[in-house]
Amino acid sequence: MRLLARLFAKVTHSCNVCGAVQRIPLRRVHVFERFHGLDHGEPVLIHCPRCRKGIQCPSPYRSHTGHPITIDPHDPSENAFVHAHY
Ligand SMILES: [Zn+2]
């Protein structure tokens, strides 16, 4: 069951301006982290495709290297990686 939970876990990204929400499979976030070499727990944020002004911040999750990642939507961390087009 734990493996299944991991396979189907999703991260909820919500926009800090318009509130648009996307649920993205954690596995996809991990593929993205590996692709961009994010090894130190840099959070993956998404440039909001709906309002194009906000940043979609993720709900707390663990990176592929096991770093717990928590984001304050009103103060996204400096080392965050912003995904322009999701
Ligand atoms: Zn937005």
Whole-number Å distance, alpha carbon 1 to ligand 1 midpoint, is 35
Whole-number Å distance, alpha carbon 47 to ligand 1 midpoint, is 8
Tens of pLDDT, residues 71-85: 998 887 777 889 886
Position 58 scores a pLDDT of 95
Q: How many domains does the chain have?
A: 1
Q: What is the mean pLDDT of residues 1-27?
A: 87
Tens of pLDDT, residues 36-65: 999 888 999 999 999 999 999 999 999 999
- Residue 57 buriedness (CB in 10 A; 0-12 / 13-18 / 19+): buried
Full residue range of the structural domain in which residue 32 is found? 2-83
Whole-number Å distance, alpha carbon 65 to ligand 1 midpoint, is 29
| Selection from 33, 42, 36 nearest residue 64 by Cα | 33
Residue 18 CB contacts under 8 Å (≥ 6 apart), including other chains? 48, 50, 51, 53, 54
86: its two tokens: 């999701």
